[in-house]
Structure 1
Amino acid sequence: MDSFQIPYKKTNYFSKMILDYLEEKKSVQSFYHRFPSLDNFSAQIEEKTEGFPFENRKVLVDALTHQYKNTSTGELTQQHLDKLLLPNTFTITTGHQLNLFSGPIYFLYKIVSVINLCKELQEKYPNQNFVPIYWMASEDHDLEEIQYFNFKNKKIFWEKESGGAVGKMSTDGLEDVYQKFSALLNTGVQAQELRDLFKKSYVAHTNLADATRYLVNALFGTYGLVVLDGDDQQLKNLFKPYALKELKEQVSHKEVTKTGEHLRAQSYPQQVHPREINLFYSGHNFRERIIKTKEGYKVQNRALSFSSPENIFEHLENSNDNVSGNALLRPLYQEVILPNLCYVGGGGELSYWMQLKSTFKAFEVPFPMLLLRNSALLITEKQHKKLNKLEVSVEDLFLSQNQLIVEKVKEKSDIHFDFNAKRKQLKESFKSLEQIALQTDPSFMGAIKAQEKKQLKGLDHLEKRLLKAEKKKMYDLVTRIEIIQNDLFPNQSLEERYRNFSEYYEYYGKDLLSTLFKTLNPLALEFTVIID
């Protein structure tokens, strides 16, 4: 096995805001709290110690104990659950949707990043304890995003109608999905392990939250990962004061709107646009927005209206319903119920979080450090040999396919394709003509400019024709480059955003996770290439 890193800015797959964040540019510094370095965790620990009440720890552990009552926990996970009661225990958290069979493989990279960071922090700060957390987005309603995964260029799809929070959804129909998936797997030992894992996760459990907890615990339980379901009444009770403040003052709308103006001033896009109230009212098989009206508050699409925020919570005490934050306030909820130091997420997630710093300040909740999760490209030894034979470097693969082919065709061609020098020479010649025109008759300037544009366009056309002819001559080379890049970058995107881990597990087996733990360094802040 071999591995190396590539700077994120050389991959062409990350936004300007994230690249500026990684370089700690001044333009982005006002949108985060502390940059994720080992030394900076000291101040974060101190701040969270002061800002996290012991009562919340007890509620958290009670809730987790209840959630784990039917799950066989590994020794390290159980130790972590017990340590969460201690005032010197802190969490590192990542969250994700309840994608079928985990969805794209970057799901694994997120969790590996969190676990590895906890190990590094334990070495740096031996007097504290660090617990890795996976937050299940069980209240999400977007079934379309999670009801499939890709395996061997086929979409394994769960035929299911949307019906409320995905965590509570029945696993009916997943026996059929299992049969489809099983038929695509080979007959090897590792393939059988995948069959067993899918069956025990999704066929043996009655709802998606329990199935996902089983799956994640089966993969990462021995590494001490704690799986947390935020859709828990005990935990939501801790959020009540913040929900009341949101209802009364519309805090998040005001603060996120101001932050959005600051983002635009720095030429960064807004990841999310706030509503006036960013809370949901959840009941049996429904979850609807709470809307402010002239008379008070109402629940969208329901015959529920209230005169005041207090009236809402009085009603909740006599029902099984609850109030929870939407996607915008989920981060705040997370930090209220967890002794958390750092959130680990993808580029889009971190951009989202960076709109919330002033909201956290308004609610007087410590803002966590933000860490970009590890990203990786897995290349087999066979694929690497093909690249070497084609004289294509791994770095070359991050170019667009057209750019990559053009560069390799020019490289291999007997014809000199550097038209840039000719363009430069042509522009200089027309500059001389412009000087002559200015000294004689300036009215010629328009004609000169038009002629320059025409000749430059002619050069472009000639270059394209020559390239097309050379590509045709090098058909075999071009085809092989297209095949290898399409294999490693499906749909011209990072494979981590497309393929499911099972496609790699069928090849690597249990070595897949051990390889990821060895090679992914969460604080390196570079893209990892793994050749095995």
Structure 2
Amino acid sequence: MISRVVSTPIPSPKGPIPAGTPRPVHPDVLQSVLPGPGRDRLARGDVLAITTGQQPALFTGPLYTVHKALSAIALAARLEQERGIPVVPVFWVAGDDHDFAEANHAAVLGKDGDVVNIVLRERPHQAPQLPLFREVLGPDIGAAIAALDAALPDAEFKAEVLHWLEAAFRPGTNLADAGAAALHGLLGARGLAVFGAHDRSAKRAAAPLLLRALDETLDDGLTPVLVEAAQGRDRLRKDGNAFVTRRSGERFARAQLEQIAADTPERLSPNVLLRPVIEAALFPTLAYVGGPGEMEYLPESAPLFTALGVTPQAHVPRWSGIVISAKIDKILTKHSLTPADFATKPGELESRFAQAELPADLTATLEQLRADVQARYARISGEVQQIDPTLERTVESARNAALAGTNEIEKKLVASVKRSQGTLLTQLTRARNALMPGGKPQERVLTIASFLARHSASVIDEIAAEVARWATP
């Protein structure tokens, strides 16, 4: 059972969101949206959109992917109610991204509350940086799903979770399409329009703008356009009347790139700054919902919007939060803890509890010993300064050694207490894994499958309710 969903500090959507100009979505763009209520609404004529996006990943990746999607859904619903105009939430699946190391794994809470990392496969270091839609799933996906099955507890809803993921992540499907299908299966019924930016139809719609962007040079001396070449996805640098790839050094005449755009447009893609421009051109976008990192770099796209004549969208920080199960909440309550208490280095919180268990007289004696050492060496230092100042460093070293000895005694006492507190340490470890796995926020590590298997799809309802409160001014 989920006890509560707690929002964490990312600002709520404040400030003006532009009125926008409702318009139809081009048929080529619609063709790249997965069938469902979201696409149906996009196809009804003049509409507006709230967009968000993420590269696809194994089993939908970390929780923040779901948080982004629910943020777009909630904000679109609010704006539609306020303005009386259809506003559709759109999720941009960046299947042309090439960062396989970010997409090839998923982390879940195992049967005993430990963090289990499931890896699809590794990409060799020297391998071409292929876009994710080129990464076809093979027998390795069966092994990954089997590992997920073994890791998750035999909870009531586990079979439903495995069925959902097996339907999306199938041998022969590429990783981008699988990720899009899984997200659509999870949130499509809530009106989310899942858009495959890597789809040929989508690329055909984006191609004219990508070709125009070849004339723009960014601060790093490169264009904002990438081409799939010998080394995979590669940035282009303008060189006279031609363009050269950054890694492989391949040379393309403009006419060649125009031919690629016509014949195999999926080989061309925008960089991180051009992507929001393409997005705003393809969809009547009011606002993009993004994470903290995106909020930092998105303003850098402004010159590209101006150069390409595209109206920019507003930037809205997504909802951020923590899902707390009843079992974990019981641990927090028992020990008077909050999720923020786990935002420390592993072992620090445990040491704090162990230190509190030391006899008060012993703790006071250790503190007095430290104070005495400091005071006595301070007197010695004063005398030494008058006799031979060159010995000051020797005195300082002796003082530090004495203090280190005292600290070592305390450290070993704390370690001894820790060993005797097996149940407490187990509880704290379980809570840490659930709330701050590996010292990182829950939403940046764990996948939604951990919670769906234990608590059913109702966990989505509970997160969505909290996100709706976030979206309401």
2:61–2:105 CA contact under 8 A, matched in 1: yes
CA pair 421-7 structure 1, distance change in 2 beyond 3 A: farther
Specify the alignment match of 2:169 in structure 1: 202
The partner residue of 2:138 within 137, 150, 172 is: 172
Report the equivalent of 1:487.
Answer: 433
Give the drift of 1:507. Answer: 0.6
Letter in 1 for 2:99: D
The Cα shift of 1:459 comes to 3.4
**SS of structure 2 residue aligned to 1:370:** strand
CA displacement at 1:465 relative to structure 2: 2.3
Residue deviations 1:179-225 (CA, integer Å, cap 9, x gap):
44445555555122122212221228733333333211211111100
Question: CA contact under 8 A between 2:36 and 2:193: conserved in structure 1?
Answer: no
Deviation at 1:493, TM superposition (A): 2.3
Aligned to 1:517: 464
Separation in 2 of the partners of 1:461 and 1:114? 56
Aligned partners of 1:433 and 1:448 also within 8 Å: no
Unaligned runs of 5+ in 2: none
Q: 1:422 to 1:354 in 2, by over 3 A?
A: farther
Specify the alignment match of 2:94 in structure 1. Answer: 137
Work out the CA distance in 2 between the residues paired with 1:465 and 1:514.
51
Give the aligned partner of residue 28 of structure 2.
Answer: 63
How far apart, in 2, do the equivalents of 1:361 and 1:430 lie? Answer: 67
Of 276, 284, 288 in structure 2, the residue corresponding to residue 331 of structure 1 is 276
CA RMSD of aligned residues (A): 4.0
> Counterpart of 2:349?
404
Give the direction of change, closer, same or farther, for the CA distance of 1:329–1:522 in structure 2 (3 Å limit): farther
> Counterpart of 1:375 in structure 2: which amino acid?
S
Q: Give me the TM-score of the superposition, normalised by structure 2.
A: 0.80
1:337 positional shift = 1.8
Q: 1:356 to 1:412 in 2, by over 3 A?
A: farther
CA contact (8 A) 1:150 1:156 kept: yes
> What pairs with 1:1-40 in structure 2 (closer than 5 Å)?
2-3=3-4, 5=6, 8=9, 36-37=13-14, 39-40=15-16
Find 2:195's aligned residue among 205, 221, 228: 228
**Paired letter, 1:388:** T
For 2:416 and 2:261, how far apart are their aligned partners in 1? 74
Distance (Å, rounded) in 2 between the aligned partners of 1:346 and 1:395: 20
| Aligned residues of 1:113 and 1:520 also touching (Cα < 8 A) | yes
CA distance in 2, matches of 1:139, 1:331: 14
By how many angstroms is 1:444 displaced?
Answer: 7.1
Distance 1:386 1:341 in 2: 43
C-alpha distance in 1 between matches for 2:392 and 2:249? 70
1:367-378 correspondence runs (5 A): 367-378=312-323
Deviation at 1:100, TM superposition (A): 1.4
Q: TM-score, normalised by structure 1?
A: 0.72
Aligned partners of 2:13, 2:249: CA distance in 1, in Å? 44
Structure 1 counterpart of 2:158, from 187, 191, 214: 191
State whether structure 2 residue 27 is matched by structure 1 residue 82. Answer: no
Shift of 1:333: 1.8
User: C-alpha distance in 2, partners of 1:369/1:427?
Assistant: 58
* Alpha-carbon distance change, 168 to 522 in structure 1, aligned in 2, over 3 angstroms: farther
What's the counterpart of residue 262 of structure 1? none
Structure 2 residue identity aligned to 1:36: P
In 2, are the aligned partners of 1:135 and 1:228 still within 8 Å (CA)?
yes
- Which runs of no fewer than 5 residues in structure 1 stay unpaired? 9-18, 23-34, 255-273, 526-532
Structure 1 residues 291-338: Cα deviation after superposition (integer angstroms, max 9, x where no partner): 3335632456486531xx4x3454346633453222342232222222
1:155 Cα shift? 3.5
Q: Which residue of the partner structure matches residue 331 of structure 2? A: 386
| Amino acid corresponding to residue 131 of structure 2 in structure 1 | A
- CA deviations on 1:334-383 (whole Å, 9 max, x unpaired) are 22222223222222333332443444444444443333333333332222
Is the alpha carbon distance of 1:372 and 1:464 closer, same or farther for their aligned partners in structure 2, counting shifts above 3 Å?
Answer: farther
1:105 to 48, 54, 63: 63
Query: Share of identical aligned residues, percent?
Result: 19
Q: CA deviation at 1:424?
A: 8.8
Q: How does 1:213-362 map to 2 (within 5 A)?
A: 213-233=180-200, 235-236=202-203, 239-240=206-207, 242-250=209-217, 253-254=218-219, 274-282=220-228, 287-294=233-240, 296-299=242-245, 301=248, 305-306=252-253, 309=254, 311-312=255-256, 314-316=258-260, 319-321=263-265, 323-362=268-307
Local SS of the residue matching 2:166: helix
Deviations 1:149-168 (A, max 9, x none): 23324343334767732224
SS at match of 2:223: coil
C-alpha displacement of 1:513: 0.8
Question: Out of 451, 455, 460, which is 1:504 matched to?
Answer: 451
8 Å CA contact 2:7, 2:319 repeated in 1: no
| Distance change in 2, residues 1:170/1:473 (3 Å) | closer
Corresponding residue number in structure 1 for 2:104: 147
Count of residues paired in the alignment: 454
Summarize the Cα distance change of 1:371–1:403 in structure 2 as closer, same or farther, 3 Å threshold: farther
Call closer, same or farther: CA 1:120–1:453 in 2, change over 3 Å. farther
Confirm or deny: 8 A CA contact 1:36 1:371 kept in the other structure: yes
Say whether the 8 Å CA contact 1:113–1:522 is kept in structure 2. no
| C-alpha separation in 1, matches of 2:117 and 2:232 | 29
